[in-house]
Amino acid sequence: MSHTVHEKKKLLARVRRIRGQVEAIERALEEESGCETVMHRIAGVRGAVNGLMNEVLEDHVRTHLVDAGGESGAADAREQLIDVLRSYIK
Amino acid sequence: MSHTVHEKKKLLARVRRIRGQVEAIERALEEESGCETVMHRIAGVRGAVNGLMNEVLEDHVRTHLVDAGGESGAADAREQLIDVLRSYIK
Amino acid sequence: MSHTVHEKKKLLARVRRIRGQVEAIERALEEESGCETVMHRIAGVRGAVNGLMNEVLEDHVRTHLVDAGGESGAADAREQLIDVLRSYIK
Amino acid sequence: MSHTVHEKKKLLARVRRIRGQVEAIERALEEESGCETVMHRIAGVRGAVNGLMNEVLEDHVRTHLVDAGGESGAADAREQLIDVLRSYIK
């Protein structure tokens, strides 16, 4: 079973918190709050998204990158990880 | 007038698009899509948030960092910018 | 006078420290230290480079983004800043 | 054998190129080139360091995160990877 299924509850809580933070940027724009508020909220979302990515990568490494004596799938999981890291670290 | 007021429409459209992307991560978790989908969607949100930050910083620099013969406020705007960059680039 | 001239000493000290850190990666590779050492040193260089960029951006904003009653150059400095941020935040 | 040993030549070439780029920042400061040159060179080093990190992470994942029927070490390699990602993605 995939870690994103196993850790569904924990990850959904994190994603919903991020949605709330994005909505707070929306509100700051609608209520014409100062640009400083807007910039700080954007920085907050970036931090939260990086935290979520770390969480998912960590689960991915701990769950799928274990061969367990020949389980296929580990090779695919490695390539997926490399692919995500390439798009994330640039 | 602050650039986040002047550019309200454009920025709100961007933020709502990001909200939609965050909701798509939520859906992927709820529907138990594979972790690869989840990771790619998180990477997509990170890119979109960086794009939004660039947009706002660019407007900030073009709007507030112009002294216009002694307008106060530019000094504050410079310090706000430095503060945001310090929290963003690390 | 440009801030990179005014702050030359301080910035050169930082850059030389970074050069030392890069040489330490080189040594770790030559002496065949473990990959963990190599990865941690690379992460250290990234942090130091971000610190240097923040320092230079901060000086740039404080020095050039001040119009001082019509000094030309501030407009160019703003566009340079925007250009650097676009290439850095992505 | 560690991938940083196996890929030593390729990685050393990359690190030396980065050292050259750092020395070019040093030269720009010493010769009092404009700050724009300095900022662009710093951005270049950051990109090159990220490229190196990707290269090493990729080798790490492909080499060590393969259990090969009970080889110990894979568990350690996973934790090292998680540790590096946590310090890198923030």
* Distance from the C55 Cα atom to the nearest Cα atom in chain B, whole angstroms: 9
- Predicted local distance difference test score (pLDDT) of residue C74: 85
* Distance from the B90 Cα atom to the nearest Cα atom in chain A, whole angstroms: 11
Burial class of residue D25 (count of CB atoms within 10 Å of its CB; 0-12, 13-18, 19+): buried
Distance (Å, whole) CA B42 – CA C78 = 32
Of C50, C61, C66, the CB nearest to B67: C66
CB-CB neighbors (< 8 A) of C61 in chain B? 65, 78, 81-82
CB-CB neighbors (< 8 A) of D47 in chain A? 90
Distance (Å, whole) CA C10 – CA C54 = 13
Q: Minimal Cα distance from D81: which residue of A?
A: A61
Q: For residue A81, what are its two tokens? A: 């990880």
Burial class of residue C68 (count of CB atoms within 10 Å of its CB; 0-12, 13-18, 19+): exposed
- Predicted local distance difference test score (pLDDT) of residue D73: 81
Band the pLDDT of C72: cuts 50, 70, 90: low
Is pLDDT of C20 > 60? yes
Provide the residue ranges of all domains of chain D, joining segments of one domain with +: 3-88
Interchain contact B56–C (C-beta under 8 A) = no
Of B62, B86, B90, the CB nearest to C78: B62
Average pLDDT over residues D63-71: 69
Strands annotated E in chain D: none
CB-CB neighbors (< 8 A) of D50 in chain A? 89-90
CA angle D73, D58, A64 (to 5 degrees): 60
Is pLDDT of C4 > 70? yes
Cβ distance of D8 and C29 shorter than 8 Å: yes
C neighbours by CB contacts (3+ pairs under 8 Å): B, D
- DSSP codes of every residue in A34-83: -HHHHHHHHHHHHHHHHHHHHHHHHHHHHHHS--TTT-TTHHHHHHHHHH
Among residues C45, C16, A81, A55, the alpha carbon closest in space to that of D53 is found at C45
Superfamily of domain B3-88: Metal-sensitive repressor, helix protomer (1.20.58.1000)
pLDDT tens digit sequence for D3-21: 888 899 999 999 999 999 9
Q: What is the DSSP letter of B34?
A: -
pLDDT tens digit sequence for D76-86: 899 999 999 99
CB-CB neighbors (< 8 A) of C90 in chain B? 47, 50, 54
Distance (Å, whole) CA B43 – CA B21 = 10
- Predicted local distance difference test score (pLDDT) of residue A25: 98
Average pLDDT over residues C6-18: 96
Average pLDDT over residues B28-40: 94
pLDDT tens digit sequence for A60-82: 999 888 865 555 688 889 999 99
Can you list the residues of chain A whose pLDDT is less than 50? none
Residue A25 one-letter amino acid: I
Among residues A88, C26, C72, A22, the alpha carbon closest in space to that of D19 is found at C26
Interchain contact A47–D (C-beta under 8 A) = yes
Average pLDDT over residues D43-54: 96
Q: In angstroms, how far is CA A29 from the centroid of its own chain?
A: 25
- Predicted local distance difference test score (pLDDT) of residue D57: 95
* Distance from the A30 Cα atom to the nearest Cα atom in chain D, whole angstroms: 29
Cβ distance of A86 and D61 shorter than 8 Å: no
Q: For residue D22, what are its two tokens? A: 């750092």
Among residues B72, B74, B56, the alpha carbon closest in space to that of B64 is found at B74
